[in-house]
Structure 1
Amino acid sequence: MDDGDTQSQAFSMLQSLEGLSAFRSLEELILDNNLFGDDLVLPRLPHLHTLTLNKNQITDLEYLLDHLAKVTPALEYLSLLGNVACPNELVSLEKDEEDYKRYRCFVLHKLPNLKFLDAQKVTRQEREEALVRGAFMKVVKPKASSGVEAASPESHLRYTPLPSASRELTSHRGVLGKGRYFYYGRNSEGNRFIRDDQL
């Protein structure tokens, strides 16, 4: 086996965790830089307290947290940095600090025993906020229905609130009219601010 084969094996990525069921007393598990997505399934690991899943392909946060709550009851340290499910500037420029705060609140609502989340210690204030508002911090993705046409870059050009006849430049109809305006001084907006001694 040459050096090229050795190097490619060293950087191969895990895609299955079937063998972990034999390690029921496992306490720490590092699964960074792999290809794990929303189909990630861990066996029950009752003693696992540290789990890092940084830089994977996880997008469905709620599904992952519900699964972890069932199979890792002793979990205290969790890191999900580098996944779409963890909204921060490292993953998307569209995300900001408020998105990340909502994410932390929702994670702590689902996993209240966490002491560290993404290399940051969980504060008492975060824990209290998760109790009160955590359930409402879930990010809801719109579901695409089969009967609705998929959005395309040109879709906004097709929609118009005007009747189809008025879309053509040649069929434009406008209205021009004249009206009389009557001024009633005592109801004028400007007169509200003028005192009697200024008249």
Structure 2
Amino acid sequence: MKTSDLCLEKDNKCAEVNRNAIIFENSKLTYVGQDCSRIPSPLIQVYAPSVHYMDLSFNQLSTLQGLEQFTLLKELVLDNNNLTDTLCLPRLQHLHTLSLNKNNIVNLELLLNKISNNLPALRYLSLLGNVACPNQLSDMEKDEEDYQRYRYYVLYRLPNLQFLDSTKVTTEERLEASRRGQLMKVVCPTNVEGRDDSPATFNSKYTPLPGSKRSIGDHQGAYGKCRYRYSGKHSEGNRFIKNNDL
């Protein structure tokens, strides 16, 4: 069959769908590397009722509109797209595998709320390469301790997971997550709503500076709880403190 294209709706940045790029066999649908900003409507109309596995990696997806029609979906791969905290996860009763590697997801708490509410059968989750997953793929400043705390918190929120990212969940991890996982929550200062049409804003009303100007000579300090703390984990300043400075 020669290459042929079907027109999609005008507001879709992926103006055409390449028939030759669609691979459907044994309930598995693959449409990879086609730069689509949303799930093409022909895929929804033709394949949604019978798909169990779908791979839409290496596109430009910024919305999952239409995903709710894949009611029998069990595995979903969305690696290397443009999905953000505004992504809307519909309720998919049978979905047990979700891969979101290398997207633009920042707010872990928001994502876990959506998964907990809408994906009751989920057993495998992968978030590598997102800011929400604190390892060196997303931030060179993160270390193994940061990543392990993240794992404990995710497993506390999603205790039925069997695999998280590329690693199987161990019995010891599961026990530790149930014991103190709730203490590992990472605060993310965002105003993102859980909708596809909401803007991803990251404004914070907190500031270390006083709320009003002070006159010269006014050195009065302010006392209170601080929202952020600095652990000094990466500081080398202590190397330059001498004994006679103490």
Tell me the TM-score normalized by structure 1. 0.68
SS of the residue corresponding to residue 46 of structure 1 reads coil
Q: Which amino acid aligns with 1:10?
A: Q
Give unmatched runs, 5+ long, in structure 2.
4-15, 22-32, 37-59, 190-202, 211-216, 220-246
The structure that has the greater radius of gyration is: 1
Query: How many percent of aligned residue pairs carry the same amino acid?
Result: 54
Are the aligned partners of 2:155 and 2:174 in contact in 1 as well (CA < 8 Å)? yes
Answer 1 or 2: which has greater strand percent. Answer: 2
The residue correspondences of 1:129-140 to structure 2 (distance < 5 A) are 129-140=176-187
Q: Which amino acid aligns with 2:125?
A: L
> For 1:141 and 1:45, how far apart are their aligned partners in 2?
27
The residue correspondences of 1:15-94 to structure 2 (distance < 5 A) are 15-94=62-141
> For 1:146 and 1:104, how far apart are their aligned partners in 2?
28
> For 2:136 and 2:183, how far apart are their aligned partners in 1?
22
- Picking from 187, 199, 204, the partner of 1:144 is 204
What root-mean-square deviation, in Å, do the aligned CA atoms of Structure 1 and Structure 2 show? 2.7
**2:35 paired residue number:** 11
* Pairwise CA distance, 1:140: 1.8
**2:243 paired residue number:** none
Answer 1 or 2: which has greater helix percent. Answer: 1
List per-residue Cα deviations over 1:138-194 (Å, max 9, x = no partner). 1124572177659xxxxxxxxxxxx579xxxxxxxxxxxxxxxxxxxxxxxxxxxxx
Closer, same or farther: CA 11–127 of 1 in aligned 2, 3 Å: same
Q: Are positions 1:122 and 2:169 aligned together?
A: yes
Give unmatched runs, 5+ long, in structure 1.
151-162, 166-199
Q: Which amino acid aligns with 1:140?
A: V
How many residue pairs match? The answer is 150
> For 1:146 and 1:139, how far apart are their aligned partners in 2?
17
SS of the residue corresponding to residue 67 of structure 1 reads helix
* Pairwise CA distance, 1:84: 0.2
List per-residue Cα deviations over 1:23-67 (Å, max 9, x = no partner). 111000001111111111111001000000000000000110011
Deviating beyond 6 angstroms after TM superposition, the runs of 4 or more aligned structure 1 residues are none
